[in-house]
Amino acid sequence: MTRVPKRPRLNLPRDLEVAYTLGRMGVARVSDLFPLYWGDLSTARFGFRRLVGLDLVRSFERNAPSDERWFSLTPKGIAWVATETGCDEDELRAHAGIRRLNLDAIAMRNRLWAALIIASRTSSEAKLSLFVDERELRRRKAPECSVVPDALFVLVSRASSSTTASFFVELDSGSERAAEWAKKAAAYREAMDRGPLYTVADWRIISIVPSLRRATMIAKVVVSVGIGTLMYFTTMAALGGGHGFDHVLWRSDALGAGQERPAHTFIQGLGLKVCRKMCAAWGP
């Protein structure tokens, strides 16, 4: 008698939450998402294999055996998540291939995104209320705007929903030259002088860098352009372990002056005003 293999079963609500997050990110690795939904990496790998077996998620071939696999929703997965959550399918993305993607930048963005979610779960002071990626920002870019950040996120105070802090994100893998950073910093300074940027009236810039040495180099550039109090730096290592709201930020002017310890957090010490107005169309 031939035994029929058992079809994988859904594990709700976790599978739906994982699929929704994957759809928002577009592509992700198990290591990006396991701290959000699983207690250990091996269980997370098993969970992803189930979702692949259900044809809700696809995996991509690795360039080398030591590389992590990348995953994305399938068209079936997009439709399932949209139906079950009631979200618009435009909120979600599915990739058929990853060859043309900047995977280093996406990994940094995903790590930041996950770190903010984890920190929000345990913080009594603030929570993440909005995270918008480059694709959405590019769609909403005004003709006169000369800068397209890698992401925008907004934190809101748990004590008062009118108290928020908005951050534009610049991801640096270590390959951009100083001249490119000077050009980018000048564009932000121009945007600051012109008024709201992507409808955000009061904002700061967070740059994720591979090392403190790299941050120091960029800090000297942005200070020379005149936005030393506007840009902050953090590293991938500093964001790990649920420490997203701890002291993980170096401010450009302090870093350029030789400060070696991060003195700022996302929710304290930034001197932001109480009220930030955003276009209601962005939503939570």
Question: Is residue 200 over pLDDT 80?
Answer: yes
Where are the chain's structural domains? 14-91, 103-282
pLDDT, tens digit, 9 for 90 and up, residues 124-139: 888 999 999 999 999 9
Q: What pLDDT is recorded for position 268?
A: 58
CA distance 126 to 145: 30
pLDDT, tens digit, 9 for 90 and up, residues 66-112: 899 999 999 999 999 999 999 999 999 999 999 999 999 999 999 99
Q: pLDDT above 90 covers what percent of the chain?
A: 63
pTM, rounded to two decimals? 0.87
14-91: CATH number: 1.10.10.10
119 close to 111: Cβ distance less than 8 angstroms: no
CA distance 234 to 208: 5
Tell me the pLDDT band of 173, cut-offs 50, 70 and 90. Answer: confident
pLDDT, tens digit, 9 for 90 and up, residues 19-69: 999 999 999 999 999 999 998 999 999 999 999 999 999 999 998 888 999
205 close to 215: Cβ distance less than 8 angstroms: no
Q: What pLDDT is recorded for position 274?
A: 32
175 close to 139: Cβ distance less than 8 angstroms: no
pLDDT, tens digit, 9 for 90 and up, residues 147-161: 999 999 999 988 888
Q: What pLDDT is recorded for position 203?
A: 92
Q: What pLDDT is recorded for position 275?
A: 31
Higher pLDDT, residue 262 or 37: 37
Q: What pLDDT is recorded for position 193?
A: 87
Tell me the pLDDT band of 3, cut-offs 50, 70 and 90. Answer: low
Give ∠ CA 89-93-94 in degrees, rounded to 5. 115
Q: What pLDDT is recorded for position 6?
A: 65
What is the residue-averaged pLDDT of the chain? 87
CA distance 42 to 61: 19
Tell me the pLDDT band of 144, cut-offs 50, 70 and 90. Answer: confident
